[in-house]
């Protein structure tokens, strides 16, 4: 099959209809008690959180860690030893780790600009993959990862762990029940009051033990700066897409999944560095983006330094229907009925109310997401993945479209037939990244 960008639209249509892209069956079927040997690529933040969640599962072990920072490797080796009694082997270059035949699955927790290379190399090495969100740092990288995964017999789970949340599933079922009436607007937001300015600091030398060239990988060559390293890489375009692809992917994922939507018809965005105009970050700290789909609009918004989000929640999703609004976030969900006036002048609810539906106490959805991945591997059931790569790519691609609209400063129109932004050359140029430092964008 000749591969083009339009494969995103075709694959997404299958996902929204409840089908998955055909793939070969997994060759090795594991029993419930068979050991699954994991390696981790990028161990500092979520990569280790993901590995720790998997280590709670019987029969899972961490045998190898790969990271460009030897300080992180040493710390995580000790962490692993405390949990499982043995230290994993350590690698500065993940490709050497992937040469090992005894590794069954890989967790990818690197900065976003590395995900495409990491994931494709892992699949081609015969590993199952748990990849942190967002899937990639560009639309075209997502497309190429999808193509490779669809031709692989390995399973891929994307770290959009809200998909494994029980109360999210119940809320999605209610949205799809039709009881809210015609849903014309979906609001999605993340207000991050804890985020303070990223202080401007001078360039300098990379810390001892850091292979900075390896950390940069395909990103543009730049002097080392602490602001661009570990965690804060999220706020620089070279490596990530800011809050839109960080928090946004989690929330947009649930919104579009519940609405059975995939690609928008158009996107426009407005915002900027309005909270901290002089700090070191590049991505906008304040942003609103409007996505137009066939039957509804979705509004994404984020703001740093503010906790006063919509409906009194710092983050969440609101499905606004003619009969009622369903407001959902990580703590639970509730129904806010619309009202109608009667002849007696009294306003009454158009839909019978429900008590607030809370998240089950003590439930860790990241743990549930890890369990789902392991179960799918052991049972050889790709369709049982809570957030497989085909489905997980939809939120990432939509979020990148929002950033494209912001960066071009105008409304952009998605051409579903061609898989591009039509005649908008500037927007189209943002679809495919340029790789640097001798690294090449993987072919499918």
Report yes or no on 439 lying in a domain.
no
Question: What's the rounded Cα separation, in Å, for the pair 47 and 411?
Answer: 35
Report yes or no on 335 lying in a domain.
yes
Q: Report the CATH number at residue 95.
A: 3.40.50.720
Report yes or no on 443 lying in a domain.
no
In a shared domain, residues 422 and 377: no
Q: E-assigned strands of 168-314?
A: 183-192, 266-272, 286-292, 297-304
In a shared domain, residues 305 and 420: yes
Report yes or no on 322 lying in a domain.
yes
In a shared domain, residues 343 and 370: no
Report yes or no on 263 lying in a domain.
yes
In a shared domain, residues 103 and 218: no
Report yes or no on 42 lying in a domain.
yes
In a shared domain, residues 154 and 176: no
In a shared domain, residues 155 and 241: no
Report yes or no on 183 lying in a domain.
yes
Domain count, the chain: 2
* CA-to-CA separations, 324 to 294, 320, 321, 337, 432, in angstroms, rounded: 21, 6, 5, 4, 41
> If residue 131 lies in a helix (H) or strand (E), which one and from where to where?
strand 128-131
Q: Report the CATH number at residue 219.
A: 3.30.360.10
Structure tokens belonging to residue 308:
């006063």
Domain extent for 131: 7-164+365-388
The DSSP result for 307-347, as a single string, is ---GGG-SEEEEEEESSEEEEEETTEEEEEE-EEE-TTS-E
In a shared domain, residues 250 and 108: no
In a shared domain, residues 151 and 237: no
In a shared domain, residues 96 and 231: no
In a shared domain, residues 263 and 310: yes
Q: Which residues pair with 320 in a beta bridge?
A: 185, 325
Question: What's the rounded Cα separation, in Å, for the pair 195 and 286?
Answer: 12
Question: What's the rounded Cα separation, in Å, for the pair 169 and 215?
Answer: 37
In this predicted structure, what is the pLDDT of residue 416? 86
Question: What's the rounded Cα separation, in Å, for the pair 332 and 106?
Answer: 31
In a shared domain, residues 186 and 160: no
In a shared domain, residues 260 and 343: yes
In this predicted structure, what is the pLDDT of residue 109? 98
Report yes or no on 71 lying in a domain.
yes
Q: What is the pLDDT along the chain (444 residues), one digit of tens a residue?
A: 333 434 444 444 433 333 333 333 334 445 455 899 999 999 999 999 999 999 999 999 999 999 999 999 999 999 999 999 999 999 999 999 999 999 999 999 999 999 999 999 999 999 999 999 999 999 999 999 999 999 999 999 999 999 999 999 999 999 999 999 999 999 999 999 999 999 999 999 999 999 999 999 999 999 999 999 999 999 999 999 999 999 999 999 999 999 999 999 999 999 999 999 999 999 999 999 999 999 999 999 999 999 999 999 999 999 999 999 999 999 999 999 998 877 777 777 878 888 899 999 888 999 999 999 999 999 999 999 999 999 999 999 999 999 999 999 999 999 988 999 999 999 999 999 999 999 999 986
């Amino acid at each position: 099959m000749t591969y083009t960008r339009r494969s995103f639209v075709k694959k997404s249509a299958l996902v929204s209809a409840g089908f998955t892209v055909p793939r070969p069956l997994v060759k090795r079927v594991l029993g419930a008690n068979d050991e699954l040997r994991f390696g981790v690529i990028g161990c500092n933040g979520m990569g280790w959180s993901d590995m720790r969640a998997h280590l709670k599962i019987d029969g899972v072990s961490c045998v190898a860690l790969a990271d460009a920072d030897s300080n992180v490797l040493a710390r995580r080796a000790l962490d692993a030893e405390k949990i499982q009694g043995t230290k994993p082997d350590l690698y500065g270059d993940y490709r050497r780790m992937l040469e090992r035949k005894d590794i069954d699955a890989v967790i990818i927790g690197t900065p976003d600009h590395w995900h495409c290379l990491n994931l494709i190399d892992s699949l081609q090495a015969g590993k199952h993959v748990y990849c942190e969100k967002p899937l990639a740092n560009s639309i075209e990288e997502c497309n190429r990862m999808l193509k490779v995964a669809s031709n692989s017999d390995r399973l891929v789970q994307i770290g959009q762990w809200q998909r494994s949340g029980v109360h999210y599933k119940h809320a999605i079922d209610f949205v799809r029940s039709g009881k809210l009436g015609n849903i014309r607007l979906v609001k999605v937001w993340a207000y991050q009051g804890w985020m303070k300015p990223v202080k401007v600091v001078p360039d300098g030398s990379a810390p001892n033990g850091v292979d900075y060239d390896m950390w940069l990988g395909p990103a543009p060559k730049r002097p080392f700066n602490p602001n661009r390293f570990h965690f804060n890489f999220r706020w620089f375009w070279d490596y990530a897409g800011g809050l839109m692809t960080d928090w946004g992917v989690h929330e947009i994922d649930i919104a579009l999944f519940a609405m059975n939507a995939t690609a928008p018809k158009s996107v426009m965005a407005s915002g900027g560095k309005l909270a901290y105009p002089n700090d070191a970050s590049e991505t906008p700290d304040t942003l609103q983006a409007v996505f137009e789909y066939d039957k509804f609009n979705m509004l994404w918004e984020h703001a740093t330094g503010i906790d006063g989000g919509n409906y009194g929640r710092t983050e969440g999703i609101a499905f606004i229907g003619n009969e009622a609004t369903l407001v959902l976030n990580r703590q639970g969900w509730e129904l806010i009925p619309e009202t109608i006036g009667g002849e007696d002048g009294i306003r009454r609810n158009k839909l019978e109310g429900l008590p607030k539906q809370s998240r089950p106490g003590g439930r860790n959805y990241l743990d549930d997401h890890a369990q789902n991945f392991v179960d799918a591997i052991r049972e050889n059931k790709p369709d049982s993945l809570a957030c497989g790569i085909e489905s997980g790519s939809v939120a990432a691609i939509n979020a990148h479209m929002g950033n494209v609209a912001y960066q071009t400063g105008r409304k952009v129109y998605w051409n579903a037939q061609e898989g591009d932004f039509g005649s908008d050359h500037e927007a189209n140029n943002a679809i495919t990244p340029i790789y640097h430092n001798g690294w090449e964008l993987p072919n499918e």
